[in-house]
Amino acid sequence: MNNCRLLFSLMFVATAHIAAAFDVPVTFQHRTSTAFGQSVFVLGSLPQLGSWVPNRAIKMVPSNCSGSECDWTVTIALPAGVTYEYKFVKRWDCACCWDNPNISCYGRTDPGSIEYEPGPNRTGSTPPPPPPPCEGKTVFYISSWPSVSILFSNTQTAAWELRPMQRVTNNVWRADGLNRMGETNLVFAFTDNAGNWDNPDGVPGRNYETPLDACVVQAGQIYNYWPPPVVSTNRVESFFITPSNGLQPRTVRAYLPRGYDQNTSKRYPVLYMQDGQNLFLGMGAFGSWNVDTNVANLIRFGKLRELIVVGVENATDRACEYTPCALSSCAGKWATAQRYAEFLIHDVKAYVDSRYRTLPDPANTGIMGSSRGGLISVYLGWEYSHVFGKVGALSPSFWACAATMNNLAVPPKRPIRIYLDTGTVGDFPVSDPPCNPCYDGLVQTMTARDNLIRNGYIIGRDLLQVFGFGHNHNEYWWDRRSPQAFLFLFPTRDEPNTVLDTHACPPRVTGFDATHINWTAHRGRTYTLQGVTNEQFSLSLVWSNLVQTAPVTNPWDYLQLPLPENHRFFRIRQDSLPAWAE
């Protein structure tokens, strides 16, 4: 194959577009003995290891116990290319010890209750990620100003830097090489160099911030695709559904994200939420989650995927529908939770998928709720993982159905990403559990978390467990913790960034010889190697598709394919993205 030729570096198929930092699963294991009521934790220098703050240490899970001596293990996703220090520590794990490990459950101050292992700190490191394909991040800014500069927090100099932006077209400005690709946050604002500033919401001192490696800023909004000139705002629609299996009829509300009306080729992930009457527009007899506001704020900075949120109102049979275990108060309704699952899947989801432009597969479908709504969400994710691939459970009422909690330890591991959280104070309603004071069900939630770890879940990758220190069991705190759940379940790093891979840092061939071709590639993209057998090049060549790659799963990668011997000219095509904004 001496006459093979690379026609040009790369050919692109038109599409219009975070890369997030790489992570590495690291397993920590320590065999030691503990006293009754103690657990072993890992505590270290990285935020993922608690940043040396005792109440943020990561609890490990015991196994292979002989008397009081056990193997304590946990696997945590750490950033690639870092060194760190850590220690194993012992501390009390009682329900009221989490906020302040020096306080026992009886209110006794015990400064010696945290036992650090003796000797110098242990050290570790993670392998570096592949080098980024481009130098720094890129920001495009749509503005009619005659001159524009970007003021950004330079992480390499630890100072603010004012950098002129370059005009691309009449109203499009561009700045390249901002900090480093893969960094988790870029903070910036714009000025016309004549004393005027563009800050979010027009508030002086408030800055834009985004994890995206390339973005477009238009009218105070950040995008990972090129937006249409006019973008509709988010809105909430309502409809009424009568279940086909005899459950009570109810109202369902759907939050539609910005640009839904203009981006007619784009399809959206969907999050289904329980207690829909408490979610949107400040509604809720006991307070509101303010989901529409929280989601819109995360989307506007390119942190959260544009998604549809569906809120399903509860019925007067709420406890029966949301509790997978048999309840004596639900006479003749022991299977109501299963019927509720059928209602959500066959009535609500079917209707939403037919009415809206959704991505209906499990990887793009989530379920979330709080209290018993959190309990039923875990049940639905575990038992119907072929439907729901993302699960959010805030203050879940595992006390009401221990079987759901215990099943999380039983293989096989489900292909789901799960968020759990709990407050640290307060009781459930008096009419509910026998465990008051329950500390927001902390003990049961930690048991569920430990069961998931035993089943192979990795903290920071497919499991996140969060404490709300000082939080108790109500909508006020679920409103404040829910953004963490949204971000873990539907971050923009899960989808392609066509500003990055088409405009800012398009793929390029990095190696070509008689046998192989190498090129840079981006997350979520597939690539097709094309070739022709003609001896001479002409513009009328008919290209054949030879090989298509699988979607890239890393933020970026360097791909390689062998070259067939019977072809003479080759090119790499970045394939178009179905169901994406053009």
Whether residue 528 sits in one domain with residue 564: yes
Q: Is the pLDDT of residue 3 over 60?
A: no
> Pick from 494, 522, 538: which residue ends a domain?
494
Domain assignment present for residue 500? The answer is no
Q: pLDDT by residue (tens digit) across 254-283? A: 999 999 999 999 999 999 999 999 999 899
Considering only CA atoms, give the Rg of the chain. 26
Tell me the two tokens of residue 178. Answer: 């901002």
CB 439 within 8 A of CB 472: no
Whether residue 317 sits in one domain with residue 336: yes
Three-state DSSP class for residue 161: strand
Domain assignment present for residue 82? The answer is yes
Whether residue 474 sits in one domain with residue 426: yes
Q: Give the chain's length.
A: 582
Of the pLDDT bands very low, low, confident and very high (cuts 50, 70, 90), residue 293 is: very high
Domain assignment present for residue 37? The answer is yes
Query: What DSSP state is assigned to residue 398?
Result: G
Q: Is the pLDDT of residue 67 over 60?
A: yes
Domain assignment present for residue 503? The answer is no
Total domains in the fold of the chain: 4
Burial class (CB in 10 A: 0-12, 13-18, 19+), 236: middle
Domain assignment present for residue 315? The answer is yes
Whether residue 28 sits in one domain with residue 12: no
Whether residue 146 sits in one domain with residue 96: no
CA distance 495 to 552: 10
Q: Higher model confidence: residue 435 or residue 572?
A: 572
CA distance 224 to 304: 10
Residue found under tokens 């650090």: 116
Domain assignment present for residue 314? The answer is yes
Three-state DSSP class for residue 442: helix
pLDDT at 101: 77
pLDDT at 432: 53
Q: CB-side exposure of 307: number of CA atoms within 13 Å?
A: 32
Q: Is the pLDDT of residue 10 over 60?
A: no
Whether residue 531 sits in one domain with residue 396: no
Rounded to two decimals, the pTM is 0.93
Geometric angle at alpha carbon 455, from 453 and 460, rounded to 5°: 40
> Pick from 165, 189, 223: which residue ends a domain?
223
* HEC profile of 180-200: CCCCCCEEEEEECCCCCEECH
Domain assignment present for residue 52? The answer is yes
Q: What is the CATH number of the domain that holds 440?
A: 3.40.50.1820
Q: Show Cβ contacts of residue 506 under 8 Å, excluding neighbours closer than 6 positions.
A: 10, 12, 574
Whether residue 178 sits in one domain with residue 77: no
> Pick from 70, 100, 125: which residue ends a domain?
125
Q: What is the CATH number of the domain that holds 37?
A: 2.60.40.10
pLDDT at 327: 76
Whether residue 517 sits in one domain with residue 397: no
Whether residue 149 sits in one domain with residue 117: no
Domain extent at residue 63: 23-125
Domain assignment present for residue 501? The answer is no
Three-state DSSP class for residue 390: strand
* Residue of 25, 21, 80, 91 whose CA lies nearest to 56: 91
Whether residue 183 sits in one domain with residue 100: no
Percent of the chain surpassing pLDDT 90: 81
CA distance 257 to 292: 9
Whether residue 451 sits in one domain with residue 386: yes
Q: pLDDT by residue (tens digit) across 471-513? A: 989 999 999 999 999 999 999 999 999 999 999 999 999 999 8
Q: Show Cβ contacts of residue 34 under 8 Å, excluding neighbours closer than 6 positions.
A: 40, 68, 70, 90
Whether residue 380 sits in one domain with residue 486: yes
